[in-house]
Amino acid sequence: MSPTARLRTMIEAGEILVAPGCFDGLSARLIEQAGFRAAYASGGAIARGTGVPDLGLMDAGECAARMEQIADAVDIPVIADADTGYGNALNARRAVRRFMRAGVAAIHLEDQTFPKKCGHYDDKSIEPTHAFCQKIAAVKDVCADDLVLIARSDGLAVEGFEATIDRCQAYAEAGADVIFFEAPHTVEQIREIGQRLTAPLLINMFAGGKTPMVPLSDLADWGYRIVIVPSDLQRAAIRAMQD
């Protein structure tokens, strides 16, 4: 079974999947050796690994090359951060083709305007809902081999909770396989997202972020299927090198 098929099977089975964040082939291989069933190729971690901040400074070609190194190093599914798709719908289609050739099992696109910011930063701007739905449809049209398409909304910091729920529902209707509601601030918000959205859900959870830590059992009960932990491994490596 291909990594993409395995990832779809795990999502459809209702299991909750923890995917630590990697940024190169070595960190991905360590995740696999530790027994995790998926790895998350973090755009922020990859950017920091090249010495630049997570502000959309890397282009699609640079990121796709790193995704290829990561996917080639492991047999487990790799979930890839494709930022905004690096531009409009046509840019996103081209980027997704490159990511698919790199061998990833899933990608997520976000509704920030280009260039983007880290999801836990303030002062972001986002695309109109209809424009991002068009981007999802354009990308879905070129997805091959059952690539899992994850749609992320950064709307909470810009438009508020209710508007972001509406956005997420629209993204699922446009063809997204999994919904990623970025940076909820409270346990109550995390629970309500799970109650109100019917699509499988991804949550971003790491120490020091805006989202509180929630037990996996609760997340599973609320409809979350993937938990990404983007930066903890890289932060541990940074601290170890400093020491």
Q: Which member of 63, 66, 86, 108 is catalytic? A: 108
Q: Which member of 22, 63, 66, 81 is catalytic? A: 81
Q: Which member of 22, 63, 66, 110 is catalytic? A: 110
86/59 Cα distance (integer angstroms): 7
Q: Which member of 22, 63, 118, 168 is catalytic? A: 118
Q: Which member of 8, 22, 40, 177 is catalytic? A: 40
Q: Which residue has the tokens 């490596």?
A: 237
Number of H helices, E strands in the chain: 11, 8
Active-site annotation holds for 91: no
Active-site annotation holds for 204: yes
Q: Which member of 111, 154, 177, 182 is catalytic? A: 182
Q: Which member of 22, 120, 168, 204 is catalytic? A: 204
Active-site annotation holds for 182: yes
For the stretch 44-52, contacts whose Cβ atoms lie closer than 8 Å and that sit 24 or more positions apart, written own/partner, are 44/81, 44/118, 44/230, 44/231, 45/21, 45/230, 45/231, 45/233, 45/234, 46/81, 48/23, 48/234, 49/23, 49/24, 49/234
Torsion angle in degrees (nearest 10) through CA of 129, 134, 138, 139: 0
Q: Which member of 8, 66, 120, 152 is catalytic? A: 152
Q: Which member of 54, 111, 154, 177 is catalytic? A: 54
Active-site annotation holds for 143: no
Active-site annotation holds for 88: no
Q: Taking each helix axis from N to C terminus, what angle separates 25-33 and 60-73, rounded to the nearest 10 degrees?
A: 40
Q: Which member of 83, 127, 154, 177 is catalytic? A: 83
Active-site annotation holds for 54: yes
- List active site positions: 40, 54, 81, 83, 108, 110, 118, 152, 182, 204
